[in-house]
């Protein structure tokens, strides 16, 4: 992303949710986005995931400038390259875990035999093959989130975007989810995670802190515990990865 902004009209006012954000995320990275409510974290995640479009600046994903792509190409990229998981799981209540995981492949036209094989692989990868025939209301919160991860990964994307994936879980289940994401990242998956929890964020390789739609810190896991008063600004000795391009202090 280079100089990316996202503005919304709220009545007669213009709200800038992203304010000239310049950012590079490398393949295979594990990035945690932190900041108070309204800081722009989820908006940034939605722009990264092609669920929303910038109103200014340029965004290239895997070498393609997003603004030049038509709706069909954007849909293909979302389907093939990006997986999403959310705080509220977004599972279909009446469907079993297996059917929930199978859904993206049905929309993508994957043949039935291949769908069945991938469902087994994906549920097995999150340790839930034995719960394949259970509906969401028969699963714990941690199990439901693992089903959501299996569904997000069944199309074998290169990027996983997670918006507060541990927000509805107890601490033990939350740690299990983070450990699962770390294991997938170790195999090459790029993970971008939104969280308010410094303990969760400190598991990431890189922590980006946001405020008022801008980036004000970009560094290693130690950045997770730094508040606005103590976090190193991009121009002031930040421990950020050298490839990252960042805004100056707000």
CA-wise closest residue to 169 among 186, 190, 146, 138: 146
How do the pLDDT tens digits run along the chain, 250 residues long? Answer: 999 999 998 888 888 999 999 999 999 999 999 999 889 999 999 999 999 999 999 999 999 999 999 999 999 999 999 999 988 889 999 999 999 999 999 989 999 999 999 999 999 999 999 999 999 999 999 999 999 999 999 999 999 999 999 988 888 999 999 999 999 999 999 999 999 999 999 999 999 999 999 999 999 988 887 655 344 333 333 333 333 333 333 3
Rg (CA), the chain: 18
Instruction: Determine phi and psi for 105, rounding to 5 degrees.
Output: -75, -30
- Residue 247: its pLDDT value, please? 38
Q: Hey, what are 181's tokens?
A: 């994401």
Candidates 27, 32, 87, 23; CA nearest to 58 is 23
DSSP letter string, 185-241? HHTT-EEEEE-S-HHHHTTSSEEEEEETTEEEEEESGGGGG--TTTSPPTTTT----
pLDDT score, position 242: 34
pLDDT of residue 88: 86
- pLDDT computed for residue 227 by the predictor: 58
Q: Would you state the pLDDT for residue 224?
A: 84
- Domain assignments of the chain as residue spans, ordered by start: 2-74+81-90+158-225
Q: In Å, how far are 53, 87, 88, 189 from 138, measured between CA atoms?
A: 37, 18, 16, 29
Q: Angle formed by the axes of helices 71-81 and 97-108, to 10°? A: 140
Which pLDDT does position 68 carry in this prediction? 92
What is the C-alpha to C-alpha distance for residues 240 and 80, in angstroms, rounded to an integer? 30
3 state SS for 145-194:
HHHHHHHHHCCCCCEEEEECCCCCCCHHHHHHHHHHHHHHHHCCCEEEEE
DSSP assignment of 13-65: EEEEEEEEE-----TT-EEEEE-STTSSHHHHHHHHTTSS--SEEE-EETTEE
pLDDT at residue 232, as a whole number: 39
Q: Within 13 Å and on the Cβ side, how many CA atoms surround 23? A: 29
Please give the structure tokens belonging to residue 245. Answer: 């391009």
Orientation angle between helical segments 97-108 and 112-125, nearest 10 degrees? 130
Are 81 and 157 in contact, with CB atoms under 8 Å apart?
yes
CATH number for region 2-74+81-90+158-225:
3.40.50.300
Query: Alpha-carbon distance 146 to 93, whole Å?
Result: 15
Token duo for residue 117? 């094989």
């Amino acid at each position: 992303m280079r100089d990316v902004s996202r503005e919304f009209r709220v009545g007669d006012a213009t709200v800038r949710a992203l304010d000239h954000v310049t950012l590079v995320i490398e393949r295979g990275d594990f990035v945690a986005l932190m900041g108070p409510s309204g800081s722009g974290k989820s908006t940034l995640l939605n722009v990264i995931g092609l669920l929303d479009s910038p109103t200014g600046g340029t965004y290239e994903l895997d070498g393609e400038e997003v603004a030049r792509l038509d709706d069909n190409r954007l849909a293909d990229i979302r389907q093939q390259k990006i997986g999403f998981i959310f705080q509220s799981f977004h599972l279909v209540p009446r469907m079993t875990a297996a059917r929930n995981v199978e859904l993206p492949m049905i929309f993508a036209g994957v043949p039935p035999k291949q769908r069945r094989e991938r469902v087994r692989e994906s549920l097995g990868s999150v340790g839930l093959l034995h719960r394949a025939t259970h509906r969401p209301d028969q699963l714990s919160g941690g199990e439901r989130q693992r089903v959501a991860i299996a569904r997000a990964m069944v199309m074998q994307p290169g990027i996983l975007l997670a918006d507060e994936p541990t927000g509805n879980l107890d601490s033990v289940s939350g740690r299990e989810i983070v450990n699962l994401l770390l294991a997938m990242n170790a195999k090459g998956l790029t993970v971008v995670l939104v969280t308010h929890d410094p303990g969760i964020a400190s598991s990431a390789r890189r922590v980006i802190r946001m405020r008022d739609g801008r980036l004000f810190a970009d560094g290693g896991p130690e950045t997770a515990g730094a508040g606005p008063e103590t976090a190193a600004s991009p121009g002031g000795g930040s421990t950020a990865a050298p490839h990252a391009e960042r805004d100056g202090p707000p």
